[in-house]
Amino acid sequence: MSTYQGTFSVQNLTGFAITNLTVMHTCNNNVDVIPSSTLAIGATSETAKLNSDDGYDDFWTVCYTLGDNVYSFAHYNCNFEESDTGGLCSIVLSNTQSFSVDTPESPSCSGIGLSSFTASSVQ
């Protein structure tokens, strides 16, 4: 089994500042996280390491707060492949309440709809 390594970051194209941003990548026993943070309009997060194993699927979880709403999607499958090794994977949050996983070389995944609920409903 081979491990493919790269990096990932998050770009905020929602048109609004967002808070409580957390993005997690999992593959096999690997867990890579961009921890909770605030991201200004048009800003890009810090870069985090990404580890993917050959023969296993890659899953992405995205969660953030915008105003009184929490947007989330857990466990979306979009693979980081051998051809992506060493590259930057960009998670792009759009103004249509969706996100994309833009891989360096392999096919990207786009138009992933986010679930929304009011922050007060989870207290």
State pLDDT tens for residues 83-103: 999 999 999 999 878 889 999
Instruction: Compute the distance between CA of residue 68 and CA of residue 55 in angstroms, rounded to an integer.
Output: 40
Residue matched to tokens 């493919």: 4
What pLDDT digit, counting tens, does each position of 13-59 carry? 999 999 999 999 999 999 999 988 899 999 999 999 999 999 999 99
In order of their start, the domains of the chain are 3-122 (2.60.40.3820)
Give the per-residue pLDDT at 17. 96
The answer to whether residues 96 and 13 touch, using CB atoms and an 8 Å cutoff, is: no
Report the amino acid identity of residue 45: S
Q: Is the pLDDT of residue 122 over 60?
A: no
Quickly state the pLDDT bin for 123 (edges 50, 70, 90).
very low
- pTM equals 0.88
Q: How far apart are the C-alpha atoms of 39 and 79, rounded to whole Å?
A: 25
